[in-house]
Amino acid sequence: MTPDTTETAKDWDGDARERLSVEDRMAAEALIVDVDGYEGPLDILLSLSRTQKVDLRKISVLQLARQYLLFVERAKELRLELAADYLVMAAWLAFLKSRLLLPPDPTEEGPSGEELAAHLAFQLERLQAMRDVAARLMARDRLGRDFFVRGIPEVIERVRKVTYSATLLDLMQGYARIRTRDEFRPFVMDRDAVYTMEEALGHMRGLIGFSGKWTDISSYLPEDWQKDPIKRRSATAATFAASLELVKEGKAELRQSGLFEPIELRRREQSE
């Protein structure tokens, strides 16, 4: 712990029963009038700390907490809407105040009141320091205000030179592309084991005229499609579909005596 904080700790004892001076109260009240002009609770605390008229390192955090809580009280009395972070800070400072006033409980975990107070003092000092350097920064000679750039800048003329690149690989791939272009053929599924309905229809149209009586449609399967089970299945399906097509055209009739019984086909007599 730094000597400064020890000193602050001494202040807190002294402050325990100290009453706020009239001046402090005035300042605290003045704050209430213009809450909107403040940049958050830390800003308010910084303003309040100025009423102590001491170096920020020697600030009495306890007194500051009291001032802030008083400020929040007043704001509530005046029914001012305080943003949540102002209230969070108030709750935190109330907690800090109790930690500072009560004798430390050795069983209690977490940072001591002094540590918390020291951190708040550090935050205030840091914020103040940032404000000071911000002011110094803004007071520097500024471009366009105190010093100036060339009024008639000469634009650098860009001379663009284009070079083309191609690699041997590009060249060879280009050539390969041309020479092999003709070898492409559109992708087709090779279906040598598929008997299409069109094929079946063509086959059956030639035969149907001769079929005056009921015939099992399996007898319409072309000979070379009867052995291989895969081919046979395909041919059967195509032949059946073709039979339906013939029925639809009014050229044939179909019948089946029962479930899984053979499907029979015969020519439809042209009565009309």
Partner 1 sequence: MSDTQTPEIEESLFEAPPIAEQERMVEAVLFASADPVTIAELNARMPHGCDAGEALVHLQKRYEGRGVHVIKTGNAYAMRTAGDLSFLMQKETVETRKLSRAAIETLAIIAYHQPVTRAEIEEIRGVSVSRGTVDQLLEMEWIRFGRRKMTPGRPVTFVVTPDFLDQFGLESARDLPGLKELRSAGLLENRPPPSLSDALDEEREDSDENQTELFEE
> Considering only residues 110-139, where is the footprint of partner 1 by CB under 8 A?
110-111, 115-116, 118-119, 122-123, 125-127, 129-134, 136-138
Q: Does 255 bind partner 1 (CB under 8 A)?
A: no
Report strand pairing: 263-267 vs 215-216.
Answer: antiparallel
Identify whether the C-beta of residue 76 lies closer than 8 Å to the C-beta of residue 29. no
Q: Does 142 bind partner 1 (CB under 8 A)?
A: yes
> Nearest approach, Cβ of 186 to partner 1 (angstroms)?
12
Tell me the one-letter amino acid at 140: R
> Nearest approach, Cβ of 38 to partner 1 (angstroms)?
9
Q: How far is CA 242 from the centre of its chain?
A: 57
Nearer to partner 1, 130 or 244 (CB): 130
Nearer to partner 1, 9 or 200 (CB): 9
> Nearest approach, Cβ of 236 to partner 1 (angstroms)?
36
Q: Does 23 bind partner 1 (CB under 8 A)?
A: no
Residue count, binding to partner 1 (CB under 8 A): 72
| Residues contacting 219, CB < 8 A, separation 6+ | none
> Nearest approach, Cβ of 120 to partner 1 (angstroms)?
9
Identify whether the C-beta of residue 28 lies closer than 8 Å to the C-beta of residue 70. yes
148/130 Cα distance (integer angstroms): 28
Contact map string, positions 145 to 184, toward partner 1, x by CB under 8 A: xxxxxxxxxxxxxxxxxxxxxxxxxxxxxxxxxxxxx-xx
- Segment near partner 1 (CB under 8 A); pick from 42-50, 64-72, 194-202, 244-252: 42-50
Q: Does 4 bind partner 1 (CB under 8 A)?
A: no
Identify whether the C-beta of residue 28 lies closer than 8 Å to the C-beta of residue 59. no
Contact map string, positions 188 to 227, toward partner 1, x by CB under 8 A: ----------------------------------------
126-130, long-range: CB < 8 A, 24+ apart: 127/42, 127/43, 127/46, 128/46, 128/56
93/68 Cα distance (integer angstroms): 8
Residue with tokens 């308010």: 44
